[in-house]
Amino acid sequence: MSGRLPEGWCETTLAALCSHRSGSSKLIKGKLHAEARPGRYQAFSASGPDVWRDTWEHEGEAIVVSAVGARCGKAFKARGRWSAIANTHVVWPDTRVLDLDYLFLHLDDEGFWAKGGTAQPFVKVRETFARPFPLPPLAEQRRIVAKALAALAEVGAARAGLARAARILRRFRQAVRAAACSGKLTEAWRASGPAPEAATTAEELWGSLRAASRADRDALERDVPASWAVCPFGALVDNHDGRRVPVKSAVRRRRKGPYPYYGASGIIDSIDDYLFDGDYLLVAEDGANLLSRSTAVAFPASGRFWVNNHAHVVQPKAGVVLGYLELSLNSLDLQRHVTGSAQPKLTQAALNGIPLPVPPEEEQAEIVRRAQALFALAAAIERRVVAAAARADRLPRAILARALSGELVPTEAALARAEGRGYEPAGALLGRIRGERADPEAS
């Protein structure tokens, strides 16, 4: 804390307020129990309370700090009977003058600690504890803790709500795709306009490809409008996989240019030449995303671009709208069409055999228009959710900064004046405790 301390506070050091020691170097994490069972006691490693012992070293309350490693400075509260093992440090505050939960607000901040090391960072406890430490009156410490924890709980609830909103938006997009490709999205549109002609052109192509089973076709046809057809994907597109050329990353570094270089999940680089010029649909050929669906498996590519051998390249035939094909593929669970486990793969034959419900061209265009409008609404909401989540992520540090500088609650001095009572400033309490330490009989 810089500047003048709040009224009633004093400046001291943690060395004057706490006792501390390293965790037991004789206790090694890999030699302790990994599971809790009756009769076992919790033990703290540098990762937290994640191992157990048949006996215990300490009893009561303390703070255990991760002393070594990437998360050194992370703190944990220990209560009851417990042990601290190698690569930890244990801190016991003098609770007559320093509240344990208030101390935890300070210590559970990896930036609070002086550190050393690079490949294997470690906390410098003595250096940290020798720094100036602003100490409020004990009653004020407890009110700071209560207020800070309440504010942090509200932030936690808000962050959980924003995470739920993000999940709802993902489900909303998938629901739009499902409605689009089942005819529900344009149900009212069909009812209000002239009866569309059946997609006979696509239906006639069914016989040219027998990759999809008759059962698949029949199942789909029962669930789509009468004016729609059901065709294998390969009957609806021209495939250009033979024109793809993979380029190694080392070569691409020498060939940087203005043209996008596409892989299974989108643009992964740029290059100085192009293989394709026009409007195409790219479909992931391999990768875990075929099953996890963290990003779209089908995505459009327009203009001049290059594609490696990890994405299928197709163009829709006459009467088929590219955006509708994109919606259809991204609405499907591709698991039964994908082969391989270590490296999932959607072969060209499997892709061509996927049966898709196909409305007339005019309805395809209307479906795409409506879906894009809904996706645009979802994107606008998502931008607000992301911005709110970013603000929420910054709030805990801001709350703690205000709490630990005396800005979150009224000072004990101000409350005492308002209530017409006296109070003991932190400096006076600390002086009294020191006196009791020097002369135990005085207490």
Would you kindly state where each structural domain of the chain is located, as residue ranges? 13-134, 198-358
List, in sequence order, every residue forming a beta bridge with 76; answer none if it has no partner.
64
Q: Is 144 helix (H, G, I), strand (E, B) or coil?
A: helix
CATH class of 13-134: alpha beta
Q: Is 117 left (phi over 0), alpha (psi -120 to 50) or beta?
A: left
Q: pLDDT value at position 30? A: 92
Averaged pLDDT, 389-400:
95
pLDDT band at 193 (very low <50, low <70, confident <90, very high): confident
On whether the CB atoms of residues 302 and 278 are closer than 8 A, the answer is yes
- Residues 33-69 have pLDDT tens digits of 999 999 999 999 999 999 999 999 999 999 999 999 9
Quick one: which of 418, 421, 428, 408 has its CA closest to 142? 408
Read off the pTM: 0.76
The pair of three-digit structure tokens given for residue 44, joined into one six-digit string = 């703290």
Quote the Cα angle for 114-69-122, to 5°.
30
The pair of three-digit structure tokens given for residue 32, joined into one six-digit string = 């302790």
Q: Which amino acid is at 65?
A: V
Distance (Å) of CA 234 to CA 144, 187, 241: 66, 27, 12
Identical topology for domains 13-134 and 198-358: yes
On whether the CB atoms of residues 278 and 197 are closer than 8 A, the answer is no
Strands 276-284 and 311-316: antiparallel
pLDDT band at 347 (very low <50, low <70, confident <90, very high): very high
Q: Is pLDDT of 201 > 90?
A: no
Q: Choose the weakest-confidence range: 96-110, 158-172, 217-231, 411-425.
A: 217-231
pLDDT band at 195 (very low <50, low <70, confident <90, very high): low
Q: Is 421 helix (H, G, I), strand (E, B) or coil?
A: coil
Quick one: which of 373, 289, 301 has its CA closest to 334? 289
* φ, ψ of residue 54 in degrees (nearest 5): -80, -10
Percent of the chain with pLDDT over 70: 91
Q: Is pLDDT of 233 > 50?
A: yes
Q: pLDDT value at position 207? A: 45
Taking the C-alpha atoms of residue 193 and residue 187, their distance in angstroms, rounded to an integer, is 10
The pair of three-digit structure tokens given for residue 420, joined into one six-digit string = 């017409």
CATH class of 198-358: alpha beta
Averaged pLDDT, 218-243:
86
pLDDT band at 208 (very low <50, low <70, confident <90, very high): very low
Q: Is pLDDT of 213 > 60?
A: no
Query: How many CB atoms lie under 10 A from the CB of residue 245?
Result: 10
On whether the CB atoms of residues 314 and 244 are closer than 8 A, the answer is no
On whether the CB atoms of residues 79 and 41 are closer than 8 A, the answer is no
